[in-house]
Amino acid sequence: MAARGLPVRLGGTELELRPERALHWPEGDVLAVADLHWGKPESFHQHGIPLPPEVLEDDLARLSAALRATGARRLLLVGDLVHSRRGLTREVVERVTAWRAGHEVEMVLVRGNHDRYLELPPAWRMELVEPHADQGPFRFSHHPDPAEGRYVWAGHLHPTVRLNSGADRLRLPCFHLGSAVGVLPAFSAFTGGMDIRPRSGERLFAIAGDTVVEVPPPRASRRTRG
């Protein structure tokens, strides 16, 4: 089954929440992702902790799939592109360089806390901006801080949602949309997450395989009279 995005409307424009863990803004020709944490397994390897080496390959393949599906010409990386400087091994730099050579898309990195001391390899052909990038009605910022006059798309929190059905329980990455700030799921599948309990008026959209589904708000508990 082909991956299907879910349309939503915010800031007076149409958007698409993609199952590749990406936000597509067709009018702006933008694809936005957050928290890729490239080099995380390599960082752990240096501490003697073996982690799957194919994490980067899987993430790059999913990023390619999102670009092909949307045709976006501008890719916004909303912070924490890398996990640490120590994780940027020669192999990681070369693999990303090879991937970049096959994608003629404008790439802009909004610096996140993990990117604090990052010097981008020139071959990656990325523009680095901070603390945010404004485009149309939106602000793209790593930290989920509201901005007057713009709807903010952020990362940093790695939102997840727990779904319960009897004895079955699932924990899925999700988009967390509030009235002024929307938080993107961590793009890397190899990250932890923060379970979100939505407040009134907030919406959660879970990523379930190749689809994105809205999670119904929790039912209000019924009071019993004493």
What are the start-end ranges of the E strands in the chain?
A: 6-10, 13-18, 22-25, 30-33, 74-77, 106-110, 126-129, 132-135, 138-141, 151-154, 159-165, 168-177, 181-183, 194-195, 203-208, 211-215
Tell me the C-alpha distance between 142 and 152, whole Å.
10
How much is the mean pLDDT over the chain?
Answer: 86
Closest residue by Cα to residue 33 from 105, 106, 109, 91? 109
3-state secondary structure of 181: strand
Q: What pLDDT digit, counting tens, does each position of 130-170 carry?
A: 999 999 999 999 999 999 999 999 999 999 999 876 666 78
Percent of the chain with pLDDT over 70: 84
| Topology, domain 6-214 | Purple Acid Phosphatase; chain A, domain 2 (3.60.21)
The model's pTM: 0.88
Name the DSSP class of 185.
Answer: P
Tell me the C-alpha distance between 109 and 115, whole Å.
9
Rounded to an integer, the average pLDDT of 21-41 is: 90
Q: How many CB atoms lie within 10 A of CB 193?
A: 17
Closest residue by Cα to residue 202 from 174, 168, 179? 179
